Amino acid sequence: MTTRYKTKAFIFKKKEINESNRNFSVFTEEFGRMEIFAKAIRKNASKLRNGVDIFNLSEIEFIQGRNRKTLTDAVAIEKFSTIPQDLEKFKIANAVGEVLEDFIKGEEKDREIFNLLRETFSRLNNQNAEKGRRARIYYYFLWNILSLLGYKPEVDKCATCRSNLNPLDIYFSNKSGGVICKKCLNHDNAARKINSDVAKVLRLILKKDWQTISRIKVGPSSQKLLEDISDTAVHFFCPAHC
């Protein structure tokens, strides 16, 4: 008899296979990342059609075949319906999907990553703030998932010599593992000068203090710095060399 598995899943990528089939990349509560084949889902009469779509959280049921998992049932739990209607939100959701795609390859259950995704998508769905503040939803996700994957940066002391930081003269180094002081700058020629606002945002993100992060003012130059060090971290740690 075929065993049917049931779990909650975030759909972060969809790929059309041919005229009627689709493949979904999902992050599930019970099994971590998986690829699921959805047969005949593009046909109008498909009962699966309404239950799974990109950036939905769905309850899915599947069977494990020799070469692939096939979707047998799906019910959407949360559709996060404002995301596809808003280009900026859609871009952020895509960026989250790309991080999952590049950083998580094998199946491994991770409830904390699952919860982080749930928190990120709900926040994105409900957020009506302006662009700069919305981007913080992505940075919150990014630095917290990097931490869960073992790349948590040091932000309270110099990551190299452990001395206290002078907030007026600080740098960020992925190679050294976080914020470093001027004396330690020679350990990494790719280190980037940052400022105390960026260090503060990173500290709040790693403390998961969303209340404060969503409220504080961050100037455009600090916002740009945050964007730069986040992009650099993705490239530095990406196992797929993305």
Give the footprint of Zn ion on this chain (CB under 5 A). 158, 160-161, 181, 184
Q: What minimum distance in Å lies between the beta carbon of 181 and Zn ion?
A: 4
Strand-pairing partners, residue 178, are 154, 173
Reduced 3-state DSSP string for 162-215: CCECCCCCEEEECCCCEEEEHHHHHHCCCCEEECHHHHHHHHHHHCCCHHHHHH
Element (H, E) at 145: helix 131-148
Give the residue with the Cβ less far from Zn ion, 96 or 181: 181
Give the residue with the Cβ less far from Zn ion, 53 or 154: 154
Give the residue with the Cβ less far from Zn ion, 144 or 174: 174
Give the residue with the Cβ less far from Zn ion, 161 or 242: 161
Q: CB 106: neighbour CB atoms within 10 A? A: 7
Q: What minimum distance in Å lies between the beta carbon of 157 and Zn ion?
A: 8
Q: What minimum distance in Å lies between the beta carbon of 201 and Zn ion?
A: 21
Q: CB 131: neighbour CB atoms within 10 A? A: 9
Asked if 74 and 61 touch (Cβ cutoff 8 Å), the reply is yes
Residues 60 and 134: their CA atoms lie apart, in Å, by 30
Reduced 3-state DSSP string for 87-144: HHHHHHHHHHHHHHHHHCCCCCCCHHHHHHHHHHHHHHHHCCCCHHHHHHHHHHHHHH
Give the residue with the Cβ less far from Zn ion, 160 or 230: 160
Q: What minimum distance in Å lies between the beta carbon of 113 and Zn ion?
A: 32
Q: What minimum distance in Å lies between the beta carbon of 59 and Zn ion?
A: 49
Give the residue with the Cβ less far from Zn ion, 126 or 186: 186
Residues 108 and 110: their CA atoms lie apart, in Å, by 6
Strand-pairing partners, residue 56, are none
Q: What minimum distance in Å lies between the beta carbon of 177 and Zn ion?
A: 11
